[in-house]
Structure 1
Amino acid sequence: MAGFVMDWWPVVCVTVLVVLLSLRLRRRDADTRRRVCVLVLGDVGRSPRMQYHSLSLSKHGYLVTFVGFLDSKPHQGVLNEEKIRIVPISEVMGVRAGPKMLTYVTKVILQSLQLLSVLLTMERQSHILMQNPPGLPGVAVAWLVCVLRGSRFIIDWHNYGYTIMALSHGATHPIVRLAKWYERFFGPLAAHHLCVTDAMKADLQENWGIKATTLYDRPASIFRETPLKLQHQLFSRLARAHPQFKDSGSDCLGEEVERTVFTVRDATDGAVTLRSKRPALLLSSTSWTEDEDFSILLKALEEYEGFIQGGVLLPSLVCVITGKGPQKEHYRKMIACLHLEHVQICTPWLEAEDYPLLLGSADLGVCLHKSSSGLDLPMKVVDMFGCCLPVCAVNFDCLHELVKHEENGLIFRDSSELAGQLKSLLSDFPSSDGKLVAFRMNLRTSRGQRWDDNWDQNVLPLITAQG
């Protein structure tokens, strides 16, 4: 009997300590019900959906603690909102020496400890709303904190982390298999689940036993067609750093006219008009990752150049490719090796306020996003549609939930098909007739819900149901 007690007393002591710690961490105050933590183990500035969550919560009077990496500037609306407090965390790298597995394991451990410290030392939150992916180790840590503090845990499923990892390592790699087990084990422990498509909702239910609410990405109110005066101001700013926007004859003009390659501003009355023989403005927003084959666009642009050199009457192109990502420098070197006369390419990094202005000024968008799981939709297309910008998008499963072929854009499978679509859509540019204009008109007349109404219907009830 004495031996039994000796064997079990450490377990009893630890259990008592955990219970006491939990009771202490669960202490309530008057503001607990009005506090929500929004968590992303990624760059806050490049997580628009989580920024929208934060803004929606703040509009309903919640105090938001927004936790994530602060690598790029969030939208000004987030920065200006007094009810949103950004708590930056840093991405740890792990042990650099030894095998890669050791580096990965130590990174996970250190990131867990950092995140655990941040979440346990902040004021008690009624909910933790976390983006997945990336979810390793955040999902387990957030769930544990919610257990200890009596908070409700909500996962917003954007994709599956293990399918993204499989792009680099292969589906059978031990790390990928571990990540898959991790998501399948800890994911169902959340109190509520959101997801981005009906296809993902069905997959979560069938294969994971998770009942989720579909919250389609919707454009925020900042995404709309850009008035001509704002277009001219944007093009003028961009022309200072990117010659693709600068009119080659601008320096020879008098003070009465101010020009960019796309616009003309009359200095006498400030009126702005589009130039009749301007190039078409093509926009592709990319994360420069392995799930986006950027070479498809480059090959299509080379084919488009060939059409013009072969005598086809087509407008010249200014192709703007925005975003940050690990493969950006690789593709910038490829761009530098191209010899294009009628197609100009630039890769600026835009401030959060300028990005919607550029979308609202473009003539056509291109999306190269290929879902690793086949279950998520590209946010960039949602934003483009908010600006009534027609899109050519590379095909993958469930894309039809967003892009309607021959209605609001076109779906392609390879570079040759994309080149043919560019040729077809721009053959009569900038005429007011043709498919491109028809697609834009369809987008204007078929606008669905904006983010705020969509969020109020699908997410707010989950928050208020628990007080």
Structure 2
Amino acid sequence: MQYHALSLARHGRGVTLLGYLQTKPHSDVLGNGNIRIVAISDLRPLQVGPKIFQYVVKVIAQAMQLLYTMLKIDQPSYVLLQNPPGLPSIAVAWVVCLVWRSKLIIDWHNYGYTIMSLIHGRNHLLVQIAKWFVWYEKLFGRLSDYNFCVTNAMKEDLWEKCSIKAVTLYDKPASYFKETPLELQHRLYMKLAKVYEPFKAQYVTESVNSSAERSAFTEMDDKNGCVIKTKGRPALLISSTSWTEDEDFSVLLKALEDYEQYINDGVKLPSLVCVITGSADLGVCLHKSSSGLDLPMKVVDMFGCCLPVCAIHFECLHELVKHNENGLIFRDSNELAEQLKMLFLEFPTLEGKLHNFRRNLRASKQLRWDESWDQTVLPLLRQNE
């Protein structure tokens, strides 16, 4: 939603951004004079009575709070909201649009009950009730003026199951997701080496310049400031996901254990350093879509940095990750371990598929968010002016 707000502001439109302030908005949002932030209080549920009663009370309180807040702002031309969460926000937004004679736009990322199932489990009473409330999402999806969704799979699902006509607006990386220059990588590694042991120079097995400033991954000639990657460097692995259960992360842990066994068996493989950074050699994504209809934003950002990925399989992942073209798709820890072995064999002397994947990502000239938004959303807004 912050991306939407920035895109609207970039075209000179005034934006009122409503939401919780549990985390700090992006600095570009905070510094944009066309964007006004209106905070909504995160209402804590009553600790009285059964869970279902607490949830109902919270939904009612949220609806009243949201309705009051939205009716206080200046009259908008459009109300754009993301679903989920849609209860009670979709109904409230629809009522506000009736009052203001505004157009309602819904940006579909999933269904409410599938997200709740990640937290409570599929058989939980709240999830079953939320599943029954799919009619609520269907109703207001049909009543809205426009609908966007994040995959073609969701577009088809919305039409087949809900008779909702939507336009696919893929998540795209912002312009600041890009490959990190080697000099900046070196500065990062040297900073991290002061705190974290794996980044220190003792991990280097071979050096070109004995007087160079070194990290485990790079070294800088102290005379001319030239930075190179060390020949004996470990591999940098970035792992990201939106897991909610321990078994999701255990897939990666088990694969790393199998990878270490390959090393113990004498296979020539580098040690792996797991870290969250834009300077990695490989990304591993453990995101599993609750509905099978959305895509991992984390992979989108990795691709923005031309970073190849290994991603766990689900139904529509092929719309983003092209197996053996920009990354690999695995189904379990054993398959991931085999992929790590194959990708890092003889690393960093021979980077093989890793190099090919990165080259393909560079050559793809993928759209950035601003370009995609201008092609998909902007024409829709202009035709209604």
In the other structure, the counterpart of 2:182 is 228
> Compared with structure 1, are the counterparts of its residues 248 and 175 closer, same or farther at alpha carbon in structure 2 (3 Å cutoff)?
farther
- CA gap 1:249/1:277 in 2 versus in 1, 3 angstroms: closer
Between 1:160-169 and 1:214-223, the stretch displaced more is: 160-169
Give a deviation string over 1:8-60, Cα, whole Å, max 9, x none.
xxxxxxxxxxxxxxxxxxxxxxxxxxxxxxxxxxxxxxxxxx22211111111
CA distance in 2, matches of 1:229, 1:291: 37
> Which residue pairs with 2:298 in the alignment?
380
1:178, distance to aligned residue in structure 2 (A)? 4.1
1:314 aligns with 2:269: yes
Indicate which of 87, 107, 122 corresponds to 1:170.
Answer: 122
Tell whether the 8 Å contact from 1:256 to 1:268 is kept in structure 2 after alignment.
Answer: no
Task: Report what 1:213 is aligned to.
Answer: 167
CA distance in 2 between counterparts of 1:396 and 1:134 reads 22
In structure 1, how many angstroms separate the alpha carbons of the residues matched to 2:158 and 2:219? 52
Aligned-pair identity in percent equals 60
SS where residue 53 of structure 1 aligns? helix
* Higher CA-based Rg: 1
Matched length = 378
- C-alpha distance in 2, partners of 1:243/1:179? 51
Does the CA contact (< 8 Å) of 2:330 and 2:336 recur in 1?
Answer: yes
Partner of 1:435: 353
**Equivalent residue in structure 2 for 1:91, among 32, 39, 42:** 42
Q: TM (normalized to structure 1)?
A: 0.77
The one of 183, 201, 215 aligned to 1:247: 201
From 128, 131, 134, give the equivalent of 1:180. Answer: 134
The one of 260, 272, 291 aligned to 2:227: 272
Question: Root-mean-square deviation (CA), in Å?
Answer: 2.2
Which letter does structure 2 place at the counterpart of 1:422?
L
Matches within 5 A, 1:69-218: 69-167=20-118, 168-170=120-122, 173=125, 174-218=128-172
1:175-221: CA deviations, max 9, x gaps? 33344232223222211000011111011111111100001111211
Ranges in structure 2 where 5+ consecutive residues have no aligned partner: 205-209
Asked if the contact 2:231/2:349 (under 8 Å) is kept, the reply is no
Q: Report the residue type matching 1:125 in the other structure.
A: P
Decide whether aligned partners of structure 1 residues 367 and 312 sit closer, same or farther in structure 2, where only a CA change above 3 A counts.
Answer: same
2:338 is aligned to 420
In the alignment, which residue of structure 2 is the partner of 1:299?
254
* Equivalent position amino acid for 1:116 in 2: L
Could you list the per-position Cα deviations for residues 293-351 of structure 1 after superposition, in whole angstroms to 9, with x for gaps in the alignment? 1111111011111111121110001112x5xxxxxxxxxxxxxxxxxxxxxxxxxxxxx
Where does structure 1 lack aligned partners over 5 or more consecutive residues? 1-49, 323-357
Superposed CA deviations along residues 155-193 of structure 1, whole A, max 9, x for unmatched, are 100111111223423257343334423222322221100
Distance in 1, matches of 2:165 and 2:286, equals 30
Kept in 2, the 8 Å contact 1:169–1:176? The answer is no
The residue type paired with residue 154 of structure 2 is M
- Quickly say closer, same or farther: Cα 1:192–1:244, change in 2 above 3 A: same
Alignment partners' CA distance in 1, 2:368 and 2:57: 42
